[in-house]
Amino acid sequence: MENPEEKNNKLYDLANLEEISAGSDEFIQQMIQMFIDQAKITIEGLNDSFERKDYQQIKNLAHQIKPSIDNMKIDTLSPVIRQVESLVEENAPPQELSPVIMQTNAVLEAVIVQLEHKLANW
């Protein structure tokens, strides 16, 4: 059982997964692991694509993870990932895009830590 302090600092909410899982913890665990794997690929991809100035790939990565962010109810990241997409579409300069990518990565990294902890203590 989570203590109230952990619940207040949690960056995600599994309500959607719990609703579609039909009570299957195994399903929820699999979906969490898939999200963790996807998030790690996204972080690496965003960093690599930004260094190479491959803005189309940045947009693709943001677009791919957006539904997962919404499904995991990572509310702090939902508007940010959309901002990444918008900035790329608007051909925003790198100095505008960089902090938004850094924020995306920081939140994803924090969520990964929280979810890995949840899986380890299931």
d(CA 56, CA 6): 37
Query: Is the residue at 1 inside a domain?
Result: no
Q: What is the pLDDT of residue 56?
A: 96
Query: Is the residue at 3 inside a domain?
Result: no
Assess whether pLDDT exceeds 90 at residue 121: yes
Q: What is the CATH number of the domain that holds 97?
A: 1.20.120
Query: Is the residue at 7 inside a domain?
Result: no
Number of domains present in the structure of the chain: 1
Q: What is the pLDDT of residues 15-68, one digit of tens each?
A: 999 999 999 999 999 999 999 999 999 999 999 999 999 999 999 999 999 999
Neighbours of 69 (CB within 10 A): 26
Query: Is the residue at 6 inside a domain?
Result: no
Q: What is the pLDDT of residue 4?
A: 43
d(CA 113, CA 116): 5
Query: Is the residue at 5 inside a domain?
Result: no
SS3 74: coil
Q: Which domain holds residue 25?
A: 13-120
Confidence of residue 2 (pLDDT cuts 50, 70, 90): very low
The DSSP code sequence of 77-99 is: THHHHHHHHHHHHTT--HHHHHH
Confidence of residue 8 (pLDDT cuts 50, 70, 90): low
Assess whether pLDDT exceeds 90 at residue 5: no
